[in-house]
Structure 1
Amino acid sequence: MQDVTVVRTSVLPPYAAHLRVYEPLAAYPEPERAHWQAYAAEHGPDAPEAGLPVAAAVLAEQRAALAELVGRTPRALPERESERAFVRLVDGVLYICPWATRLRNWQALEELRAGAPVALVDTALPPATRAEAEADRERWRSEHPDARPWILTSRWEVPVRWFLPFGDEDRCFVPAGTGEKEGEVVRGDQASLFYLTPMAQARRRVARAYRALREAVPEGELVRGAEQVGRWLEEFHPRSLVELDYGGLVHLLGAERLLADRSAGELEDGLRALRAGEPAEALRAYEALTARWRQVLALRHAN
């Protein structure tokens, strides 16, 4: 028998962060509620308590996306919407965050058109394929005028505006191979950094930030970001949970930087200084935060 080389591979999440909303099961109308209830009963929660990440489910989502590409002609969209979700269990309440893969693919297509060279876009997705996807999107929108994604994605960075709904007390860092409490093993065996907070608290923080920023820097980038995040949060059930997950960025930052990262707390300190009439201190905090994340963003151009 010939020698056989066994190659072991693993799928890691892309270098992307995610802002998610988990709505309580009761917020979903029938028949969606019955579907998600059955789904949760079959698969169990991805995170059975607030201090644990959904990292294993993120890997499952990535593997599913890659499996769709194997042996197929590239397509702009999946043929049908995903029937899967991230599931959290907090204080005995089930919270559901649908993957909504098809809807997010439409958004990604729009971002690709806006940010990539035309020649690259045409090579990846020919004009006829994009036109078909856009026509499909318009038909779908006419049938689902109130649809919105439960997940926002940012590649290579966490946008500063995404920290507005959170405080430092919402931060959960789980080192690789250990859980946050008493050393239990985390599924996926990867480090995770995420923030999790109730929707009511998230909305209050964003509203306070927006008022302070509008008075101090009405034309600033962060005030526009606060308005954007605030409008998105208003689309969901008031008893939802909001999560900021560093996702695959943990592999860029490394354990030491993750352990030291206090981005939400730093932004909170800057806003506190702004409300206290200390604009210089607020500017210093904001510039330090944005400079650090620009360094991370610059890695996308690294060889």
Structure 2
Amino acid sequence: MTSFPYVSYLRVFEPLDAFSDDEQLLIMEQRSRDRRATEELDRGESLRRITRTVSDPFPHDSEDLVRVLHYPSPEGLTTPYYCPNQLAVRSTLAAESISHSLHNPLLGLLLPEAARDAQQQRLDPDTFADSLAKLHTRSSTWGIPFGWFVLFREDDHAEVIEGRHGVETVRLSAPLMQCIDRARYAAASLAVAAPGLDLLDELTEITEWMETFTLSGMLELDYGRVADMVYPDDSPSDVQAGIESLAEGDMTGAAAAYRRLATRWIKIRQLARAS
């Protein structure tokens, strides 16, 4: 497996009828490809973009990828749900974020102005606006936001993907409406017990994001390569225990839950600062 940074993803998967006719045609063309093949295609394309002779990390005219989640029912059957990669939009947003934190000449080396201008020319304004309003994928580098763990439980569907060198990733998935209910309950508890916590704002924002999608969809947390360093992972349980302790006024319990979380994830966050 090619070595890539520790990036984790939170993805919304929707049923086929939630998409436009053009999107459904794209999905139908790719629905038979298995998930591992899709991930390998995505990694391969990323590697080709960053190793171009001329510095230009943006995707050009390649067809967008679609991920398929086969979610199991209690009867043992599976239902397919779909998540478009929306790479052109996400790469544009990432470039804008970098441009606010870097300055020339470093910005010019990583994202030449000519490449940024060409990317703007390639984007269709209507398609870009639609994708921006309904962005199916969120990403986090060098760790998973604790707010994401609020959305999942230890008994949710889990898929462990192993490779030759250990765990490649772990994917947790749950019905979107269930995740929204969990976020709302946690936010309501924090609003009373700890209204000053940044986690409350994070949960409010992420709930609004989830509510833009078809409520019959599914939510997936894809750990990425960080899974090999933390799995088996008790973070969802620890976050839940911390919020419940705060709601009950148990500061000792809340502090203990936070210490467990911090101890588990500090080694990964330190890698972001390693030279």
TM-score grouping bracket, smaller chain normalisation: 0.7 to 0.9
- RMSD of the alignment, in Å? 2.8
Q: 1:35 aligns with which of 22, 26, 31?
A: 26
- 1:39 and 1:12 map into 2 onto residues whose CA distance is 26
SS at 2:13 equivalent: strand
* Worse overlay, 287-296 or 147-156: 287-296
- 2:52 and 2:16 map into 1 onto residues whose CA distance is 36
- For 1:232, the equivalent position in structure 2 comes to 209
* Worse overlay, 111-120 or 135-144: 135-144
Does the 8 Å contact 2:176/2:218 carry over to 1? yes
Does the 8 Å contact 1:18/1:247 carry over to 2? yes
Q: 1:100 aligns with which of 83, 86, 95?
A: 86
- For 2:247, the equivalent position in structure 1 comes to 275
Does the 8 Å contact 1:166/1:264 carry over to 2? yes
Distance 1:291 1:56, change over 3 A: farther
* Worse overlay, 231-240 or 80-89: 80-89
Does the 8 Å contact 2:89/2:131 carry over to 1? no
Cα drift, residue 70 of structure 1: 4.5
Q: 2:180 aligns with which of 203, 213, 222?
A: 203
What is the identity, as a one-letter code, of the residue corresponding to 2:5? P
Distance 1:116 1:297, change over 3 A: farther
Cα displacement string for residues 33-89 of structure 1 (whole angstroms, at most 9, x for unaligned residues): 233123214x2x42xxxxxxxx55323211122234444422253224743111122
Q: 2:11 aligns with which of 17, 20, 23?
A: 20
- For 2:40, the equivalent position in structure 1 comes to 59
Q: 2:100 aligns with which of 96, 103, 114?
A: 114
SS at 2:162 equivalent: coil
> How many positions carry a matched residue from both structures?
270
Q: What is the TM-score normalised by the length of structure 2? A: 0.85
- For 2:268, the equivalent position in structure 1 comes to 296
Distance 1:15 1:56, change over 3 A: farther
Structure 2 residue runs of 5 or longer lacking an equivalent are 72-76
Does the 8 Å contact 1:81/1:100 carry over to 2? no
Does the 8 Å contact 2:192/2:247 carry over to 1? no
- For 1:4, the equivalent position in structure 2 comes to none
Does the 8 Å contact 2:81/2:217 carry over to 1? yes
Cα drift, residue 268 of structure 1: 0.9
- For 2:74, the equivalent position in structure 1 comes to none
Structure 1 residue runs of 5 or longer lacking an equivalent are 1-9, 47-54, 179-187
SS at 1:205 equivalent: helix
